Amino acid sequence: MLKNVPIEFLQRIPKADLHVHLGGSMRLSTLIELAKKQKIKLPSYTEKGLRQRVFKDRYASLSEYLNGFSYTESVLHTAENIERVAYELGQDAIAEGVRYMEVRFSPQKRINRHLTAQEAIRAAVRGLERARREHNDSTVVQHGKDLPFYFGIIVCAMRNFDENSSPYYRALLQVLEQSSKAEIIGTASLELAKLSVKLAHEEKLPIVGFDIAGEEAGYPAADHFAAYQYVHKHFIYKTVHAGEANGPESIFSALTDCYANRIGHGTNLFRADLIKDKTVKDKKNYIRALANYLASGRIGIEVCLTSNLQTRPDIKSIAKHPVRKMIHCGLPVTINTDNRLVSNTTVTKELKLLADHIPLRPQELKNIVIAGFKSGFFPGSYMEKRRFVRKVIDRYNELARAYNIPLY
């Protein structure tokens, strides 16, 4: 088993971050600056004060965790701010060795009389593209001494919203006031799915995936069936926040109703006690079959360790996190940040937590790192992705030898 994996090794290896939300991953200094400029009230205007009052290492509840988003989201309603935050996120990721990133973004939450969903997406792409170009044009990359950086956008629809979520949602609720909540939610997500396909195919923007996020309990993935069917028929990959607040059936629904290629979090995969379907007589076998389906289909699980501990008080420590069982079952686990600011983390920190608290064989650590690239919805061709993954593997092996990390 691996022991005492050096932080320097984890910093230098190429890493992927497949589950990171733009709205939860800005720099604190930028939040303060933009809030002052827009006259948005914050509990403190110092980084130390915000760390003490809002963005903590541990949270008492999910509501306390989500409280931070009310501040970060408030400054993301202009194209200029979105572009800047995306650019800085790309810079920060590149600085810690991330070489592939998929940024989640909910453009319908940004819509206002000065900004359309299209403009919001384009702004995020411009920011990340600027960071990508600066790195890829650098001397170290051009001379083959470092790997290039790639990114994709995952467009997020919301499982639930109300009139206070954004002017767009308020208008939609007024227009469809006689419709059921499920119909309204489905209408919003289908509209976003069509926009995503249009921008991906007509403008060639690197929109690589579609997702649903937000409150899981009481808001089933099946409400978004039409949206997922639409992107599925237009070659956009699918991921779903599932098994985070609900049980294994939520993950099953992500697969059957949304054609999921990956699962976001999947923390309750093994929770037989959360299965509510009375037709399921053998719950253990149901979970066994579900886990085996995920593993054999190479359907990736986007694990976010720190975020899970902060939002799930029932998970007392990393050692108690179901990631250990996921790895044991052969699932293609990837390690991600979720929200770099709100969870005060990086991919390097997440990998260090994993290596320090979960018994791993050398090959398992390597597989998890490489899975981040193999499971990615890469914006280029399959052959380009294969060549890139090969370079990642070669770089990992080179650094492992330099730090005396066994490969097998």
CB 118 within 8 A of CB 155: no
Where are any strands of DSSP class E within 122-181? 150-158
7-402 falls under which CATH superfamily? Metal-dependent hydrolases (3.20.20.140)
103 forms beta bridges with 20, 153
How confident is the model over 97-155, as pLDDT tens digits?
999 999 999 999 999 999 999 999 999 999 999 999 999 999 999 999 999 999 999 99
Domain limits, the chain: 7-402
Instruction: Kindly tell me if the per-residue pLDDT of 313 is higher than 90.
Output: no
Amino acid identity of residue 263, one-letter, is I
CB 213 within 8 A of CB 104: yes
**For the residues 218-225, what does the mean pLDDT come to?**
96
**For the residues 386-401, what does the mean pLDDT come to?**
98
**For the residues 157-167, what does the mean pLDDT come to?**
93
Mean pLDDT computed over every residue of the chain: 96
What pLDDT is attached to residue 281?
94
How confident is the model over 62-105, as pLDDT tens digits?
778 888 999 999 999 999 999 999 999 999 999 999 999 999 99
What pLDDT is attached to residue 255?
98
Confidence of residue 297 (pLDDT cuts 50, 70, 90): very high
Nearest residue to 101 (alpha-carbon basis) of 23, 26, 153? 153
Confidence of residue 331 (pLDDT cuts 50, 70, 90): very high
Could you tell me the end-to-end alpha-carbon distance of the chain, in angstroms, rounded to an integer?
A: 10
Nearest residue to 261 (alpha-carbon basis) of 5, 15, 18? 18
How confident is the model over 21-71, as pLDDT tens digits?
999 999 999 999 999 999 999 999 999 999 999 999 888 877 788 889 999
What pLDDT is attached to residue 57?
87
State the Cα–Cα distance between residues 262 and 277, nearest whole angstrom: 23
How confident is the model over 167-218, as pLDDT tens digits?
999 999 999 999 999 999 999 999 999 999 999 999 999 999 999 999 888 9
Amino acid identity of residue 250, one-letter, is S
276's CB contacts (< 8 A; 6+ apart) are: 247, 249
What pLDDT is attached to residue 61?
77
How confident is the model over 275-286, as pLDDT tens digits?
999 999 999 999
CB 21 within 8 A of CB 339: yes
CB 154 within 8 A of CB 103: yes
State the Cα–Cα distance between residues 221 and 254, nearest whole angstrom: 6
DSSP state of 338: B
**For the residues 292-306, what does the mean pLDDT come to?**
98
